[in-house]
Structure 1
Amino acid sequence: MIYELRIYTIHPGKIDAIRKRFSDHTLGVFARLGMQVCDFWEDLEEHPKLYYTMQYESMEERTRQWEAFSQDKEWNEVKQKSEQDGKIVEFVEQVFMKRAEYFKK
């Protein structure tokens, strides 16, 4: 099992737009495509950042899921419509992780 931490830095003034896009559309598209979000956070100090983790069986599965997402008709329509007044996300950082064998929940 692998995990991906995704950190989104949002353009100034666009945090509400990304919240709406995720809550109204993106998380539903992820679910429809079988993409598993483990958890989701916003920055406590109110920096314009979102953090979430995803879980995959393998890097190959991750690649397949993100390719399907990037080609999804609904997602592309939502993205285009939500960015009519400018891009929302400045950049995305990705960290790939595996569970430490010595950690027990």
Structure 2
Amino acid sequence: MGMVYTLFFCISSLFTVGEKTISEKLPRYYEIQIHYAEPGRLKYLQNRYRRFAVPLYRKHNVQVEGFWSPVDPNDERIVCILSYYNQAAWLRATKDFLRDPKWKKGIEESESVGRLEAKTERHFLSPTDFSKERFANSGVKGRVFELRTYNATPGKLPNLLARFRNHTCKLFEKYGMTNLWYWTVVDAYPAQETLIYILSHPSQEAGLKAFTDFRNDPEWIKVRKESEDKAGGSLTVKVESLYLKALDFSPMK
């Protein structure tokens, strides 16, 4: 637990300065956590979150948005999205959660088979003005989710957001993709130039086909060229995609 507390206090120190500014601007404060299981122990780590973490998150006023694992069975990770009213609420909730005796007991009990988690990555997120605020948690049976991360070319994040706002999201819908959350990363000052978003598809195959059709769409080809000509080059330096399936205890399915 010492490492967990150290991580919490290191992260909290990053957000102490300028707390008022952040909390006033964000209607909700999101956190994405990516938990890497020790080899062969993903099911035990999932069970820890199912039995212990999710009930305690709710106890401490943390909104659980969703839990997923990659579609690839060899990828032993858990992706978790949590949200809070603001950054100050995150500080209070995280402090109370980590100090809760039931969480400490849950870690001890779940690690009877050995260490479960190799490492955790997390980012703090601000919803964009075109991110959906409300949507049905249940969709097509067996649907998959796609987590996409775009590292913007330095100075070009506003251009990238404008392209999504005015064109890309509508074209996604044209090809049967469901737009869910869209965020920018607020881990640093100034905020990292990163866009993270989640789509859903009826299946991974449907998602891959939809993106192929999207990339070949004449309107997209035109919009992409015009936006890059205006910005003086590509709006992104790196794009990552991860297909996910909702876990049984995830509110979003």
* TM-score category of the 2 structures, normalised to the smaller one: over 0.9
AA in 1 matched with 2:200: Q
Inter-partner Cα distance in structure 2 for 1:95 and 1:15: 21
Task: Map residues 17-28 of structure 1 onto 2, 5 A cutoff.
Answer: 17-28=159-170
Q: Which residue of 1 aligns with 2:250?
A: 103
The percent of aligned pairs where both chains have the same amino acid is: 29
- SS of 2:233's equivalent? coil
The one of 28, 32, 42 equivalent to 2:174 is 32
- Unmatched 5+ stretches in structure 2: 1-142
Provide the rounded CA distance (Å) in 1 between the counterparts of 2:170 and 2:250. 31
| 3-state SS, counterpart of residue 13 of structure 1 | coil
SS in 1 for 2:246: coil
Distance in 1 (CA, whole Å) between partners of 2:149 and 2:174 is: 22
| 15-24 vs 30-39, greater mean Cα deviation | 30-39
- Tell me which of the two structures has the higher relative contact order, counting C-alpha pairs closer than 8 angstroms and 6 or more residues apart: 1
Q: Provide, for residues 60-82 of structure 1, a one-character-per-residue CA deviation record: whole Å limited to 9, x for no partner.
A: 10121011101101001000111
Deviates more, 1:95-104 or 1:2-11: 95-104
Count, aligned residues:
105
- RMSD after superposition: 1.3
Q: State the match for 1:52 in structure 2.
A: 197
Deviations 1:37-79 (A, max 9, x none): 1111111231000000011111110121011101101001000
Aligned to 1:62: 207
Would you tell me which structure has more helix in proportion to its own residues? 2
Aligned to 1:90: 237
In the alignment, what sits opposite 2:219? 74
Deviation at 1:19, TM superposition (A): 1.1
Segments of 5+ residues of structure 1 without an aligned counterpart are none
Q: Which moved further from structure 2: 32-41 or 6-15?
A: 32-41
Q: Which has the larger radius of gyration?
A: 2
TM value normalised by structure 2:
0.40
